Amino acid sequence: MTQSVRSTAACVDFITRARWKDVPPDAAQLAKRCIIDGLGVILAGSTTEGSTILRDYVRRTDGGEESTVFGADVFRASAGGAAFLNAASGHAMDWDDTQLSTTADRIFGLLTHPTIPPLAAALAVGERLRVSGERFLEAFLTGFEVECKIAESIHPSHYKKGFHSSGTIGTFGAASATAKLLGLDAKATAHMLSIAASLCAGIRVNFGTMTKPLHVGRAAQNGVLAAELASAGFTGGKDGLDGPWGFFQVFSFGDGMDEDRIVGKLGNPYTIVSPGVSIKPYPCGVLGHPTMDAMRALVTAHDVKPEQIKAIRVRAGSNILNPLRYKIAQTELEAKFCPAFMVSAIALRRKAAIHEFTDEFVRSEPVQQMMARCETILDAQIEAKGFEKIRSTVEVDLTDGRTLVQAADERYRGGPDRPFTREELHEKFTECAELVLPEPAMAETLRAVESLEKAGDITTLVNTLATHKTELQGAR
């Protein structure tokens, strides 16, 4: 690990030079897939209790009319306020996508949920500026790439010692996307990075609470703030990412970063292409998803009924068991980070979606009893394999004396090795969006995003996303 002296300049150069016309076709296509997924989880997350509290707060304190806040109760706020609320909603269900690791020391999970901060910022600022679909896509992918490369570069101690990367490094994604839309020159972009570095926040003690999505909301809001201040001539320190007082040293507890992961690597290749991004099949911590699929495969193949299960053991490495830290969940937020709930939901219903991640289901007697039969075990053999992939094994003891064993598939659903089909992606979007949008608006949103580079003004997409079910019902 080194003290970089060139990473700030590399980011400034990439942000100011990036152009949609130069984006490879595979990166362009994947960007639109991530936007579809991101819009879906924003709409679904707007219905949660935490999002409702935040929306009520912004209604009382913001007063802006620049940009749209999406959800069941659509309203307008300042661009920063709208970015804040839409991003917090996007992470509220923990159903937003995840950046992948390239090497074993980059723990799967320490990187970011990359889409929501630049998406929320680009939507809010892009609506205010009435930018074209091409400029919106350009800004989104620029922010996505800068965010991912910073996350890949910083020493793993950033996450391991307590920072939540989506909150801290997500700020750079939102700021870079906003800078692109505002057309900042190199000098202002450098100031933007320094300002953003001073606004980064989010610690892991808040996993399993409403504050975890607050981190992502603040990342989007603070990213907009950093770029807007820089645009107005506000200054920040020289080389905000580099040197002994820059982001990489301070936020890694002095362990620094790997310069060769960012210098010469921005857009070469785009992270969204390689190593790629994981779109989540379940609304919970992605580190548990292969385990849940393994449990589903086991109970389905052997037709295991809940009453047949005597005990369940989840064997995994510390990269899974440390973040998924709740032994027995009492709320749906805790359940998102509770392996016992994840396998118990599958055991009881053979699925774990929006209707399973509720306080009522989590606290129900069958779920609490099933979780009490679950044990998590730190497996030395799995630990020794490294942390760039999600590895686990499920063992189920049955009342008839049999023990069934199922290893998780490292080629998990939603990852680059087993990506969602277009139909599966649309199904997830529909499951999310149907909580607030009428069917015609859902279909039009999908069509609009898939041809977004042709749009002359993204407010057409924004207006579709802002459609109320009640509006259409009243029109009939």
Does residue 347 have a pLDDT over 90? yes
pTM for this model (two decimals): 0.92
Percent of the chain having pLDDT more than 70? Answer: 96
Q: What is the pLDDT of residues 65-107, one digit of tens each?
A: 999 999 989 999 999 999 999 999 999 999 999 998 877 777 6
Which strands make up the sheet holding 392-398, listed edge to edge? 374-378, 309-316, 392-398, 403-407
Q: How far is CA 252 from CA 7, 102, 223, 255, 299, in A?
A: 15, 19, 20, 5, 42
**Tokens 């002095």 — which residue?**
254
What's domain 7-278's superfamily in CATH?
A: 2-methylcitrate dehydratase PrpD (1.10.4100.10)
- Among the listed ranges 214-218, 284-288, 362-366, 465-469, which one has the minimum average pLDDT value? 465-469
Give the Cα separation of 13 and 282 in Å (integer). Answer: 37
Residue extents of the structural domains in the chain? 7-278, 286-407
Contacts for 138 with CB less than 8 Å, ≥ 6 apart: 18, 19, 20, 23, 180
Contacts for 56 with CB less than 8 Å, ≥ 6 apart: none
What is the pLDDT at residue 223? Answer: 98
What is the pLDDT at residue 472? Answer: 42
Give the Cα separation of 50 and 281 in Å (integer). Answer: 22
Average confidence score pLDDT of the chain: 94
Peptide bond just before 438 cis, omega within 30 deg: no
Residue 90, H or E segment: helix 79-92
Give burial (CB, 10 Å; 0-12/13-18/19+) of 400.
Answer: exposed
Q: Which CATH architecture has domain 286-407?
A: 2-Layer Sandwich (3.30)
Does residue 144 have a pLDDT over 80? yes
pLDDT band at 415 (very low <50, low <70, confident <90, very high): confident
What is the pLDDT at residue 107? Answer: 64
Does residue 473 have a pLDDT over 50? no
What is the pLDDT at residue 108? Answer: 55
Q: What is the pLDDT of residues 400-411, one digit of tens each?
A: 999 999 999 888
User: Between these two residues, 78 and 470, which has the higher pLDDT value?
Assistant: 78
Percent of the chain having pLDDT more than 90? Answer: 88
